[in-house]
Amino acid sequence: MKLIYRFARALGLGLLALNVAGCNSDSGLNTSIESASANSDAPTVAVTHPTREDLSRGVSLTAEFRPYQEVEVHAKVAGYVQQINVDVGDHVKTGDVLAVLEIPELEEDLRKADAAVLTAGEEVKSAAAAFEETDQISTRLQAAAKEESGLIAQQDLDTAAARNRANEANLQAAKQRVIEAQANADRMQTLLSYSKITAPFDGVVTKRYADTGALIQAGTASETQSMPLVSLAELKKLRLDFPVPESAVAEVHLGDQVEVDVVSLGQTFSAKVSRFSQKVDTSTRTMLAEADVDNADFRYTPGMYATVRLTLADKKDALAVPIQCVSTGENPTVFVLNNDHKVESRPVTVGLETSSEAEILSGLSDTDQVVMGSRNSIQLGETALAKEMDGRKL
């Protein structure tokens, strides 16, 4: 009987253990199902990690090439064009003769001035001889009067001295007339030298206004409107002009690098800000800035347009996120997924902003999962599944 009792007891305990085990198994299964159901209901959000970037903020401006120097060459004296040595497109050096004028009146005036110099020179010789003669007479009379008192009347001494002084004055006047005549001749010679019109700098003739035989008025004559002979431009170096918006004026400095894109030629190059006007045009609200461009091979042509990329600020190795991740306003925030996969709002300090990236000065690390896209479909505190984005775009 004891044996039967022990067997029955053991069988009962075994069935009880199986029942308990079965209950426990059903409970674990239900928990797993509930967890899977919860995860399947969680929304999926696109996330990215803050990365280290070299950021720069700038502005693209339309620019135009123009000559480094450009001038319309006028004659300094009036005359007829005897010959013109250049035409449009010719390259000239400083001092090259562009044209020669015929000035008959000036040539005649120069001959008269030269003759006046010769006449004045003869007058000096005559006055010098007269002065020498009276000087000798006055000197001898003075010497004789000292040797023997009363031999020479005082009146004769005074007369001789007066004649000598007069002849000396005549000699000085004659010499002055020589100086004046020579100055006049030199002036005529200088004016006549202006009949040769020369290039003021190395350049290219961009326009020709006069032909042989044309009457050219002096460019210094204020009462008439003179016609230039040619237009000359220095093209081996060009000025690249571009208007800087008023909002960016304070960030422009001499030596700032700009990237230039000449679309018509498919060429890009770097240049530096060479000068700027330091004045905002009230009609356009822009300030003119210039960059000097080497054009020794005449690759670029004045009047040609280009696009200038002016960098206003830059930052190396900045921690950055896509700018659409950051809220606008005085207290910017980003949405992140925390370690519990819940969405939370994180205040951040924003530094340099570009069109696509924002520098994060504080509030994030490079391991944080930053939520991308619209915030309207996301609730703070809800559980979400992260979908890592390849790159910065959704």
- How many helices and strands in the chain, by DSSP H and E? 3, 19
Longest dimension (CA), the chain: 202
Percent of the chain beyond pLDDT 70? Answer: 87
Q: Of 296, 314, 332, which one is at a domain's C-terminal end?
A: 314
Into how many domains does the chain fold?
Answer: 3
Q: Are residues 304 and 350 part of one domain?
A: no
- For 195-210, what is each residue's pLDDT tens digit? 999 999 999 999 999 9
Which residue range(s) make up the domain with 254?
62-66+235-314
Average pLDDT over residues 255-264: 95
* Environment class of 159 (CB within 10 Å of its CB; exposed 0-12, middle 13-18, buried 19+): middle
**Angstrom distance (rounded) from CA 134 to CA 162:** 9
User: Looking at the predicted structure, is the pLDDT value of residue 21 above 60?
Assistant: no
Q: Are residues 306 and 359 part of one domain?
A: no
Query: Strand 369-371 and strand 196-198: pairing?
Result: unpaired
**Angstrom distance (rounded) from CA 103 to CA 355:** 67
User: Looking at the predicted structure, is the pLDDT value of residue 37 above 50?
Assistant: no
Beta bridge partners of 242: 289
* The two structure tokens encoding residue 231: 């237009």
Indicate whether 49 belongs to any domain. Answer: yes
- CA R_g for the chain: 50
Average pLDDT over residues 201-226: 86
Q: Are residues 345 and 297 part of one domain?
A: no
Q: Of 281, 314, 347, which one is at a domain's C-terminal end?
A: 314
* The two structure tokens encoding residue 107: 């040539």
Query: Strand 44-48 and strand 385-388: pairing?
Result: parallel
The Cβ of residue 63 has, within 10 Å, a number of other Cβ atoms equal to: 26
Q: Is residue 202 classed as helix, strand or coil in its secondary structure?
A: coil
User: Looking at the predicted structure, is the pLDDT value of residue 8 above 80?
Assistant: no
Lowest pLDDT segment from 9-13, 15-19, 68-72: 15-19
Indicate whether 1 belongs to any domain. Answer: no
Average pLDDT over residues 8-18: 40
Q: Are residues 378 and 329 part of one domain?
A: yes
User: Looking at the predicted structure, is the pLDDT value of residue 151 above 80?
Assistant: no
Q: Of 298, 314, 330, which one is at a domain's C-terminal end?
A: 314
pLDDT at 326: 94
Q: Are residues 255 and 239 part of one domain?
A: yes
The Cβ of residue 98 has, within 10 Å, a number of other Cβ atoms equal to: 21
**Angstrom distance (rounded) from CA 364 to CA 344:** 13
User: Looking at the predicted structure, is the pLDDT value of residue 286 above 90?
Assistant: yes
Indicate whether 198 belongs to any domain. Answer: no
pLDDT at 23: 36
* The two structure tokens encoding residue 288: 């003119």
Q: Is residue 219 classed as helix, strand or coil in its secondary structure?
A: coil
Indicate whether 127 belongs to any domain. Answer: yes
Tell me which DSSP letter residue 348 carries: -
Q: Are residues 320 and 304 part of one domain?
A: no
**Angstrom distance (rounded) from CA 134 to CA 249:** 82
**Beta carbons of 197 and 99 less than 8 angstroms apart:** yes
Indicate whether 355 belongs to any domain. Answer: yes
The domain spanning residue 347 has which CATH number?
2.40.420.20
pLDDT at 224: 60
Phi, psi dihedral angles at 213 (to 5 degrees): 95, -10
pLDDT at 57: 86
Average pLDDT over residues 141-150: 78
pLDDT at 141: 82
Indicate whether 181 belongs to any domain. Answer: no
**Angstrom distance (rounded) from CA 55 to CA 353:** 8
**Beta carbons of 216 and 187 less than 8 angstroms apart:** no
Indicate whether 37 belongs to any domain. Answer: no
- Alpha carbon separation from 390 to 48, 49, 326, 358 (Å, rounded): 8, 10, 19, 18
Indicate whether 350 belongs to any domain. Answer: yes
Q: Are residues 310 and 240 part of one domain?
A: yes
Cα distance from N-terminal residue to C-terminal residue, the chain: 80
pLDDT category of residue 313 using cuts at 50, 70 and 90: confident
Phi, psi dihedral angles at 143 (to 5 degrees): -70, -40
pLDDT at 346: 94
**Beta carbons of 308 and 268 less than 8 angstroms apart:** no
